[in-house]
Structure 1
Amino acid sequence: MQNLEALAIFVRVAEMGSFTRAAASLGIQKGRASNVVRQIEAQMGARLLHRSTRTVQLTEDGRSFYSRARGLLADAEGLASMFSGIDVPLTGRIRIDLPTEFARLIVIPAMPTFIEAYPDVELEISSTDRRVDLIHEGMDCVLRIGGIFDETLVARRLGALRMVNAASPACLARYGVPHTLQDLLVQRHRMVHYTPTLGTRPFGWEYPEGDGYAVLPLPGSVSVNNVQTYHGAGLAGLGLIQAGLPSLAQFFQSGELVEILPDLRPEPLPVSVVVAHRHNLSRRVRFFIDWLEQTLQPYLDH
C-alpha cells in the first residue's frame, strides 16, 4: 500500500504540474511529496520530472512511468472493489476534457445529477476546442467531435452531431437568401472560416454530393479557432456558418440566426468518448462515461 500511495503522489504531482498544489490537494506537506518523488526516481534510476522554480513537467521517461502508474492505480482500485458489490460509493478524482459548447449547453447543466448520485467524486473539467493529449495532460477521458486519428487511443462512439447551415437576418438582407449552391456564388456570399490552427487553409463550404460530401470554396474576411467566437461571428453577420444544431437551436428560436439550405447540410460529425487505455479504467471513470453517454443521447443522431 505504501508503494501505491507513492505512485498516487507522483501521479498527482505530474498532473497538477506543481508539488505545492499536489500536496495541498492530497492533504500532505510539500516536502513529503518532493521526497516521495525523489525516492521513486532513485529506485527507477531515471529522472521522471523536469523541475523549475514555477512548474514541474514530465520527462520522456516520466511520461512512460506516469502512464503505467495510472494503470496500476486503476487496477488496484478495481481489485479492491472486486467483491464489494455495486453499492460501494464512488470516490476519487476524474479529469475530463469537453468541447466548449457541449460543456456549456449540455454537460454542465446536467452535472448536478451526477454530483447528487456520486457526491464523493471530484471532477476536474477542462473545456477547449483543441485536441488535448490525454496522456501528457493527464486526462482520464475526453469527449471528441470528429474523426479519431490516433490509433493508440480507444474510442467509444456515442452518436453523430447533426450539422446545419446558418446566417444572420442582416447577412441575408445584404446578400439574399440562397436556395442553391449556385446562389452562394451568384449572390456573392461570404463565410466565416473555422480552423483549429490559424494560418492553415480554410475548410470551405461543405455540402452533400452523390454518396459523399464535397467542398465549395467561399471567400471570407474572418477566420477563427474557437467555436463560441465562430458562432459570434455568424450572429454579427460576418458571414455564413456551418455548426452543430444543438448549439444553434437557441438562436434559431430567437430569430438571431436563420437556417439556410436545409437540404444541403454538412456531414454529421461523429461524437466519441476517448480514453488512453481500455483495461485500466477506474470504476469511477467507467460510471462517468456511462452517465455522459446517457446525458448526450437526446442531442445526437444514431
Structure 2
Amino acid sequence: MDRFDAMRVFCRIVERRSFTRAAEDLGLPRSSVTDAVKELENRLGVRLLQRTTRHVSPTLDGEAYRQRCLRLIADLEEAEGAFAGATPRGPLHVAVHPTLASHFIVPHLPGFLSDHPGVEFFLGEGDRYVDLVREGFDCAVRVGGLADSGELVARRLAALEEATCASPAYLARHGTPRDIDALGDHCMVGFRSSATGAVLPLEFTIAGKVRAVALPSSITVGGAETYAAAARAGLGLIQAPRYRLEEDFRRGALVPILEATPPTSTPVSVVYPRAKHLSPRLRVFIDWLTARFRIGTAAAG
C-alpha cells in the first residue's frame, strides 16, 4: 500500500472510529487496514491512535497528522481532478430518505452508473439524521431547513410543493374544513422531527405569511411511510410533499384539502463535510443529482 493510500486508510479509521468499519467502507481486509496504520506509526515514530474495546480515537499527534493528511489528499485529488480525463472511481456512500431515493434517484441510477462504471455506489436509506463524518458517508440528501454549520457544505436541490390532506373516512367523521379557522374540531397525525425531536405543527400560507397550527394528535410517528399510512387509516390530517401523495390522490385513499392556503414548500439539499475534498466521483454525483431534481420537480409541476 503506498503512502497516500495509507493516509486515506488512517483518515477513514478516525472518521469511523473503527478499524472494521473503515475496512468495510474501503473494501479492504481488516488486516490490511491494521498493517497500514502500523507502517505509518513506525515510519513517523509516534503513536497515532488510541484503541479501546469500544472505539478508536486519534492521539494528539494523530489528530495533527490527520489534518495534514486531509490537506495532502485534497491537493492530490484536486490535481488529478483538474484534468478532463480524470475518471470518477471508488466508493460513494450517500445517505438519503427512502421516498426521495425511490422517486428521484433509484429509477435513474442505471444511467449514472453506465456513465461512471468506476463508481461503487452505496445508498443508505432512513428517516434518521445521520452524522456524515462519524458514519462514513460522502454526502446526504436532507429535507427541510438546515442549521448553520461550519462543518458542512450545502447545495440546494429543489423546493418540494406540499399538500394538506386526510382520508375520506376521516373527513366523513369530522367534516371537510373550508379554512384554517374551521380546524378547531380536527386532529393531526403528529410527526416528530429526527433533527430536533420536536413534533412539527401544520403550516399554512395566508397572504404571503406563514401561520403554524398545532392540532391535537392521538398518534405521533417518526417515519414518512408511517405518517402517510396513519392518514390513510383516518387518524388525522397530514402535510407532506405532493409528489409522495399523488398516487393516494389518484386512488382516492387521501383527499387534498385547504388548497387555497398551502403549506410552505420543503427545501431539499445535498450536504457534504467541508473537510472532505469534493472528489471527482462526488462532484459528478452532485451535478447529476441536481439535474435529476430539476427534471423531477419540473415534471411534477
TM-score, structure 1 length as denominator?
Answer: 0.85
1:1-302 maps to which residues of 2 (within 5 A)?
2-14=2-14, 19-20=19-20, 22-23=22-23, 29-41=29-41, 43=44, 45=46, 47-48=48-49, 50-52=51-53, 56-59=55-58, 69-70=69-70, 72-83=72-83, 85-86=84-85, 88-152=86-150, 153-185=152-184, 188-197=185-194, 201-277=198-274, 280-300=277-297
Between 1:29-38 and 1:227-236, the stretch displaced more is 29-38
CA distance in 2 between partners of 1:202 and 1:64 (Å): 41
**Is contact 2:81–2:279 with CA below 8 Å preserved after alignment?**
no
Q: Deviations over 1:143-187 (max 9, x none)?
A: 1111121331211112211111011111111111111112221xx
- Once the two structures are superposed, what CA deviation does each residue of 1:211-252 show, in whole Å capped at 9, x if it has no partner? 321212211101111111111111111111000111111111
Judge conservation of contact 1:180–1:261 (CA < 8 Å) in 2. Answer: yes
Q: Give 1:47 deviation, angstroms.
A: 4.5
2: CA distance, partners of 1:60 / 1:267 = 47
Q: Unpaired segments of 5 or more residues in structure 2?
A: none
Q: Are the aligned partners of 1:92 and 1:121 in contact in 2 as well (CA < 8 Å)?
A: yes
- Do the aligned partners of residues 21 and 158 (structure 1) sit closer, same or farther apart at CA in structure 2, a change above 3 Å counting? closer
SS of the aligned residue for 1:218 comes to: coil
Q: How big is the alpha-carbon RMSD for the aligned residues of Structure 1 and Structure 2? A: 3.0
Do 1:63 and 1:136's aligned partners in 2 also have CA atoms closer than 8 Å?
no
Q: Report the alpha carbon displacement of residue 70 of structure 1 after superposing the two structures with TM.
A: 4.8
Same amino acid, percent of matched pairs:
35
TM-score, normalization by structure 2? 0.85
- Give 5+ residue unaligned stretches, structure 1: none
**Contact 2:128–2:195 under 8 Å retained in 1:** no
Number of equivalences: 296
